Amino acid sequence: MKFTVLSLFPEILQGFFDSSIMARAVNNGSVEYELVNIRDFAFDKHKTCDDAPYGGGAGMVMKTEPLSLALESVKAKDKKSLYMSPSGNVFDQKIAGELSKEEEIVILCGRYEGVDQRIIDAYIDTEISIGDYVLSSGETAALVVIDAVYRLVEGVISKESLEEESFSSGLLEYPHYTRPEVFKGMKVPDILLSGHHANIKKWRLKKSIEKTMSNRPDLLSEKIMSDEEKQIMHEIISANGEESDGLN
């Protein structure tokens, strides 16, 4: 799949495409990318890309002309186009999965107060927020989306690693341990050294449920639980002597 990113600071994104698993995915052809500098489409003497907002108020707004030329140059209207914005739909694993099936996504990164609304109206399919906080730039938000999406593209990461991850089953992932067996007096749980795969699987499921109950109980209220999962959850609740908190 291809990521086409429009930005005033494409160098922020370049390092990501040049490193680690992404670099390998680019080299083996699973991922393609194109970084477009919006400033290359500003044709006045100062290459101006922003201007004061109509109606007054603080800050500057990214101007229509360079943005529109940049978006036309990548044929954004024929592709899945996203604008990174704190007022967009909140990004999650489900959206990442859907985007990973696209052949190409075009991502527009904002700066300052954001972009002129007419650019969104004319060129953008979906506004995406990465969470309820305000960043100074769309580039860091775009990197979050690109990272979550490209690793789901076939050939980038093994299917088994993806299956057991947080959110894939509606639960958070169980804890991991590697060598040494004892670190600062803390020992790896015996069960992981037992070689008993069925018991290890059950222990991991229990840890996943415990962690989800503690850190993200909201996920449990949406999850359809198997009988085994329900049983484990009840065991945890009675072991802790806790109120069920409406989670049954």
Chain contacts with ligand SAH (rule: CB under 6 A): 84-87, 109-111, 113-114, 129-131, 133-135, 137-138, 141
Residue 129 vs 169, nearer CB to ligand SAH: 129
Residue 135 vs 192, nearer CB to ligand SAH: 135
Largest Cα–Cα distance of the chain, in whole Å?
Answer: 72
Q: Smallest distance from the beta carbon of 138 to ligand SAH, in angstroms?
A: 3
Residue 71 vs 109, nearer CB to ligand SAH: 109
Q: Smallest distance from the beta carbon of 193 to ligand SAH, in angstroms?
A: 43
Amino acid at 196: H
Q: Smallest distance from the beta carbon of 99 to ligand SAH, in angstroms?
A: 14
Residue 135 vs 219, nearer CB to ligand SAH: 135
d(CA 230, CA 46): 64
Q: How far, rounded to the nearest angstrom, does the alpha carbon of residue 149 sit from its chain's CA centroid?
A: 7
The total of other beta-carbon atoms located within 10 Å of residue 125's CB is 15
241, burial (CB in 10 Å: exposed 0-12, middle 13-18, buried 19+): exposed
The total of other beta-carbon atoms located within 10 Å of residue 87's CB is 9
Q: Smallest distance from the beta carbon of 144 to ligand SAH, in angstroms?
A: 8
Residue 131 vs 217, nearer CB to ligand SAH: 131
Q: Which of 89, 84, 137 is nearest to 106 (CA)?
A: 84
Backbone conformation region of residue 230, classed left if phi is above 0, alpha if psi is from -120 to 50, else beta: alpha
Nearest-CB residue to ligand SAH? 110
Residues recorded for the chain: 248
Q: Smallest distance from the beta carbon of 108 to ligand SAH, in angstroms?
A: 8
